[in-house]
Amino acid sequence: MATDLNSFASEYQSHLSQRQAQGIPPLPLSADQAAAVCSALQQKDLAPGLLEVHGQADTVGSLRYLISERVPPGVYPASKVKAEFLADVALGRASSPHLEKMETLEMLAAMGGGYNISPLIEVFTLDSSTCPACGYMKLAAERAVQELGDTVEMVEYKITTPENIARMKKLSVQNLPSILINGQLRFSSIIPSNRELLETIQEYK
């Protein structure tokens, strides 16, 4: 299975036509197909009419639908491709002009069990560089990450941008600083001890 977008679009649309003619639904994306979709979502200029599937009006809409809805849940190879791509975008290791970071976090959360990213610590602060309490909260998270290594991820949301404020409101964060793990509020205004934070993170492994 080719992984460039042109080949993928042609092959996938052919697959849809064949399955429709047989009166059966299309198969979920394979790992190669998921990789093609992820690669395409990192490209800026996409021909609008190259891929129009599943009721979507253009290529970007089709790719967004495919990565969101057509990758099987569980521990399939395609699920791993999707989870790793979304985690990279969410944590700033990769970028996509067609997906917001908040969207990728929501997609990861929706994957439930199976392949997902390591426990994600989200530290909400006014600004850890100027707010002492915020700095202590961030340091607590960083210490836990240092001890647990690559089995946990951390991101700080400084409430200085509209996007971060929107994330705070969506998760109903009322007080700062706060720590959320996998989207769940665990510490609000109270800075946890290292042992307490480590034990809490273990609940998500």
115 in a domain, yes or no? no
Phi-psi bin for 117: left (phi > 0), alpha (psi -120 to 50), beta?
beta
Measured from the Cβ of residue 170, the count of other Cβ atoms closer than 10 Å reads: 12
Final residue of a domain: which of 64, 85, 110?
110
- Residue pLDDT tens, the chain, 205 long: 456 899 999 999 999 999 999 999 999 999 999 999 999 999 999 999 999 999 999 999 999 999 999 998 778 899 999 989 998 998 888 999 999 888 888 888 777 656 656 788 999 999 999 999 999 999 999 999 999 987 888 989 999 989 889 889 988 999 999 999 988 899 999 999 999 999 999 888 7
* Whole-angstrom distance, CA of residue 183 vs CA of residue 186: 9
Residues comprising the chain, all counted: 205
Cis-peptide, bond into residue 177, ω within 30° of zero: yes
pLDDT for residue 73: 78
**Is the domain of 70 the same as that of 34?**
yes
**Is the domain of 84 the same as that of 147?**
no
What's 164's domain CATH number?
Answer: 3.40.30.10
**Is the domain of 142 the same as that of 101?**
no
Final residue of a domain: which of 87, 110, 133?
110
**Is the domain of 31 the same as that of 89?**
yes
pLDDT for residue 72: 85
Where in the sequence is the domain holding 166, given as residue range(s)?
A: 120-202
195 in a domain, yes or no? yes
Question: How many domains does the chain fold into?
Answer: 2
